[in-house]
Structure 1
């Protein structure tokens, strides 16, 4: 049995992965600890084999932020991450798994422009959130060795039941709007249970390195809304020739490109030696909406 500590109590990802691993109660003993008030500093890591670090600031509009908030991004996403990793290494933890993000490659490409990420795509953070994740990755890789294995997960948009971010917004649109723009974009996404299985495999195989877990299929924003609506027997009409309107809207708010822009991983980037994609895109939507 492996003892696992999740740092970031009550986080959506942490709770979801914990519940998933508890289905394998003979194989994993999972505990959580909070990070907001320094609770983690009072806990001994010496009994744990793995630390899965999910705490951080995300899902914020970082277009215009105060200097105080900028420093908070680095304090939590970078400094806290490295401090917890150093404690884990000093106390004999074998593996440290870090939730990074596709945000290290910058924002989505504008509507009509392609953005395909490969292993060779360099860092290109567009804001303080992305840059804080880049600094965290670099600091962690400096700690990595044969006795302390660092796993970095550069995940695209994670979605699931009761998730945050863009997905619940699309859900509401699918259930309320009679019409929706027909845009042919391409995005990589990751269903929360596919992520949980990937984390389980990282632990079982004692992996180290950088990984890009994602669903096998790309998603298309318009098709995704249709998929949700159809499950609830709602009729949504896709309106063509909306690209120029949305392009204009993208100059007013960055959320247009977040929803309708392009950000996709190369087809084989998310592959792993064992299959972790337990759900197709359609199956994941059916399970969420059920």
Structure 2
């Protein structure tokens, strides 16, 4: 698929992954629009020239409006936090995903890319797990609802009329990443940073631009019905990662 001049809708367009996707889509001369529940975050995308509907993805009327005239949807919006009820996570991660997917299908969107997570394998998945590996909710609302959303999308997959693509991203880092850049640096500067165990656990990381490159490659190849693990393919320990981060910020190693 030639992406030039195609219209792409990005949910969560003012968030970390969504905003970078918008930037690179514009660089590819695509027509970019989005959905964002926060007006303040929407401004970031609007400043790029993107047309943004400020609404929640659970709102059916807004989802239907957003999908009009769209060729491709990249769904990045989600709830990802440490606490919360299963019902709270399910409302956005499952119901919201189904809502925007059905709106896209009804509007004639041809490609729907869902940004899932490697955590669908649970927190302690085996090294070098493949896409055929067993899924595990680990009694965690985030893991469980990402699995549920994936299953719902596969049921909607019906190319060439409507093709879904699932990308299971590792730990996404890069400029502006709250959990992997911003928050750790704040904690380091306050001398409050700590990590679990001996720091030899492996971070299954993926740089933001590598993830976005994978998004566009999957669209170009029309990989409908496929699921892909997306990481940098490197084994980096917690200690190695955060030592490097500290050095880049001119801070002493936090260990």
**1-structure distance, mates of 2:35, 2:116:** 19
Deviation readout 1:98-145 (Å, 9 max, x if unpaired): 111112111247xxxx65422332111121111111111111001112
Among 63, 88, 103, the alignment partner of 1:87 is: 103
Q: Does 1:162 align with 2:176?
A: yes
**2-structure distance, mates of 1:237, 1:46:** 50
Q: Could you say what the CA RMSD is over the residues aligned between the two structures, in angstroms?
A: 2.4
Kindly tell me the number of residue pairs found equivalent between the two proteins.
226
Among 122, 126, 133, the alignment partner of 1:121 is: 133
Q: Which residue of 1 aligns with 2:48?
A: none
Q: CA deviation at 1:44?
A: 5.3
Q: Which residue of 1 aligns with 2:154?
A: 141
Larger radius of gyration: 1
**2-structure distance, mates of 1:214, 1:171:** 23
Q: Does 1:51 align with 2:73?
A: yes
Q: Partner of 1:5: helix, strand, or coil? A: strand
TM-score between both structures, scaled by the size of structure 2: 0.79
When residues 179 and 61 of structure 1 are mapped into structure 2, their CA distance, relative to the original with a 3 A threshold, is closer
Unaligned runs of 5+ in 2: 37-54
Moved over 3 A (4+): 172-182, 232-235
TM-score between both structures, scaled by the size of structure 1: 0.70
**1-structure distance, mates of 2:203, 2:100:** 32
Q: Does 1:221 align with 2:238?
A: yes
Q: Does 1:204 align with 2:243?
A: no
Unaligned runs of 5+ in 1: 239-290
